[in-house]
Structure 1
Amino acid sequence: MPASELGDMQQGYTVVLDAGHGGVDGGAVGSKTGIAEAGLNLTVVKLVQAELEEEGVRVLLTRTDENALARGKKADMQARKAIMNKPGVDIVVSIHMNKFTDSSVKGPMAFYMKGSDEGRRLAELVITAVCESVEAPSRKANPADFFMIRESPSPSVLVECGFLSNPAEEALLQDPQYQRKLASGVVKGVMDFLRSMALEPSGKPIVTVSPTPSQAAK
């Protein structure tokens, strides 16, 4: 596909970027500095937003500042769901920081909704690009059942940028240069997905989801 046609196609796409947590819900906390995940998530999201918009992609943010979208966790998540379910949304990317009881565990991870073929493909492209960008060992994307990927009607990925429970990685996740590398990896994965997706005549992605028994019963 010529670059000019790809540029026109990208301008027809909308990506929702979700900065996990916010408000009184700070998320994971750094083991050494005590930094809260929520602020780091938003920093990376805004870097991703800037790069995607340079590529001609329309971006919607679930939250734009340190505040949650509503009072109470349930109301906040429902507000995020409403944004994901807006007409025309093609991809959802939720950004988080990780933690674990074993402080030696480190590295980015990506999750997709189990049963979603397009979600898996998006997640695989994103985690491959992120690992390459930050020079981390390659990892496969993992199926999961998190709210943001479960409730999204479009292909979605939840990215855990690294572990705040690992002191060395905690420091990296606060480094502006490393944050830019993370963001560039996410953007490359998203753009690779846009370039490789199967297209309907309308130019929108064909989304295929194979329901699990529990999904089919709902």
Structure 2
Amino acid sequence: MKRKIWHRRVIPALCMAIGIGLLMICLCLWQGAVRANESPTHTFLQAYKVLIDPGHGGSDGGATGIRTQAREAEINLDIACKLRDQLRLQGAEVVMTREDEGAVGKDKNTDMRNRRTMIENAGQDITVSIHQNSFPDSSVCGAQVIYAPGSEKGMALAACIQAQLDAELKPEKPRSITEGDYYIVKSGTAPAVIVECGFISNEVEEALLLKDAYRQRIAEAIAKGIADYLVQG
């Protein structure tokens, strides 16, 4: 009788202890997975700060798609946010001039001045402005990176990003990097580029730019180009 009572008391207690132990192990594994997802996958960019400027915003929608009238500003923001996430996974500190659909100022002039102020004071290593291109000839297509006239570092950054975009997107007629006398690339002292991710005036390219997976590929290619410049340069 005593043996049966012992079994009835000890075995359930033992099972409960084992169950609690397994639960604690699972909890620890889950917490470790969460921390891993929140932490950078790599840390080779942890010494660098990148400023990302999603072009346009608010009432300034930028260019519009030839078929769907899609707003450039919204495409810019989505690619910029994807790029931000890629760079943070590699350990970089990222500053954005905007992170929502709004503009950076109440009107165009104020918007541009505010962007310039951020670029001049953020202390970043490089500046990357995200845009989409447009041209009256709808056959023109392809991603292209622009840098400030006379900027050797800007040219080197542009070349790294252009090379990765061409490798990833595999355009039939790759475009070359080019100088551009634009307000953003001339702001601040850090090397700066404008990445024209494609032509939304081209029907085929517009359709691609409306796809989330294609935008992700663009963001990853830009991130690789940035890493090439920062780490190897």
SS of 2:220's partner is: helix
Structure 1: gaps spanning 5 or more residues? 1-6, 198-218
Tell me the equivalent position of 2:35: none
SS of 1:110's partner is: strand
Residue 55 of structure 2 is aligned to residue 20 of structure 1: yes
Instruction: Give 1:181 deviation, angstroms.
Output: 0.8
Q: Which amino acid aligns with 2:208?
A: L
Equivalent residues of 1:128, 1:138 under 8 A apart = no
Residue 175 of structure 2 is aligned to residue 139 of structure 1: yes
Identify which of 101, 104, 107 aligns with 1:69.
Answer: 104
Equivalent residues of 1:108, 1:161 under 8 A apart = yes
Equivalent residues of 2:54, 2:80 under 8 A apart = yes
- Distance in 2 between residues matched to 1:8 and 1:36, nearest whole Å: 35
Q: How do 1:167-178 residues align onto structure 2 when only pairs under 5 Å count?
A: 167-178=203-214
- Distance in 2 between residues matched to 1:101 and 1:81, nearest whole Å: 29
Equivalent residues of 2:185, 2:194 under 8 A apart = yes
Equivalent residues of 2:79, 2:218 under 8 A apart = yes
Q: Which amino acid aligns with 1:180?
A: Q
- Distance in 1 between residues matched to 2:125 and 2:212, nearest whole Å: 29
SS of 1:97's partner is: strand
Instruction: Give 1:134 deviation, angstroms.
Output: 1.3
- Distance in 2 between residues matched to 1:188 and 1:44, nearest whole Å: 14
Equivalent residues of 1:109, 1:159 under 8 A apart = yes
Structure 2: gaps spanning 5 or more residues? 1-41
Aligned length: 191
Equivalent residues of 1:132, 1:138 under 8 A apart = no
SS of 2:121's partner is: coil
Instruction: Give 1:138 deviation, angstroms.
Output: 3.1
Q: How do 1:108-147 residues align onto structure 2 when only pairs under 5 Å count?
A: 108-136=143-171, 137-147=173-183
Q: Tell me whether 8-17 or 47-56 shows the greater mean CA deviation.
A: 8-17
Tell me the equivalent position of 2:129: 94
Percent of residue pairs identical: 38
SS of 1:115's partner is: coil
Tell me the equivalent position of 2:28: none
Q: Which has the larger radius of gyration?
A: 2
- Distance in 2 between residues matched to 1:58 and 1:121, nearest whole Å: 21
Q: Which amino acid aligns with 1:58?
A: E
